[in-house]
Amino acid sequence: MISTPRQHRREYGRRIVMDNQVLILAVAWYMVFVCSTSLHEAAHAFVAWKLGDKTAYYGGQVTLNPAPHIRREPFGMVIVPILSYLLSGWMVGWASCPYDPVWALRYPRRSAMMSLAGPGANLILVLLAAVIIRLGLALGWFYAPESIGLTNVTEAASGGLWPSVAIVLSILFTLNMLLFVFNLIPLPPLDGSGALPLFLDESAARRYLEFLSQPAFSIIGLLVAWGLFGYIFRPIHTLALNLLYPGAGYQ
């Protein structure tokens, strides 16, 4: 079949639209990732500062500005998210918040509250996205999609900027749910392991924190957590979506 110039123009136009959509999606993922991760680390730093450890405060981590967090972990905040998106279509990465281990051993319960602050910040963003989506449903801006994906937790009822808003809200909901659940797995070096001293007496909590400080356990913990995560996250995410859309029956 011989293609005509008009067909060439149509194909070229479709490629431009598809390229623009891929670019918009990548930018949306990265913006949400950077903002969510910065809030996570800022929450750690803020709670530690208020509870007596000023290490992160002096390091400039008590801020929503992504720059200090990126400077501290450029590989986890820039390179890994971009590579993971190119390879899998979604973003994963990390940042870190400095703290005084002597302070943590002296005040294990304060250290545990610092650990919970990061996932708590991600949960707040999940709830914020959910409230906006529910408001948009009530006002006719969004509707519940027939099938759910990482970037289509909700869909726009009209054109213009609304499809982009729906994508950003979908990523905000899903990514922060992912960060919340993953970080609460009680294995080192994840925040869930740091929260366990809340349930121990001070002597046992100190021994536990000393035990966690060994680097080998962090490597093993990450490998095990990553292996378990898919089994843990899928039912929690599905439950959250069915709470967001009562009666939808997502599976």
Residue of 11, 41, 73, 210 marked catalytic: 41
Sign of dihedral through CA atoms 21, 244, 38, 66?
Answer: positive
Burial of 11 (0-12, 13-18, 19+ CB in 10 A): exposed
DSSP state of 196: G
Comparing CA positions, the residue from 181, 178, 172, 138 lying closest to residue 153 is: 172
Distance CA(198)–CA(89), nearest Å, equals 37
Distance CA(95)–CA(39), nearest Å, equals 11
Phi-psi region of 90 (alpha: psi -120 to 50; beta: other; left: phi over 0): beta
Instruction: Measure the N-to-C terminal CA separation of the chain; round to a whole number of Å.
Output: 44
Distance CA(136)–CA(130), nearest Å, equals 10
> Is 11 labeled as catalytic in the residue annotation?
no
Helix and strand numbers (H, E) in the chain are: 11, 2
Give the catalytic positions in this structure.
41
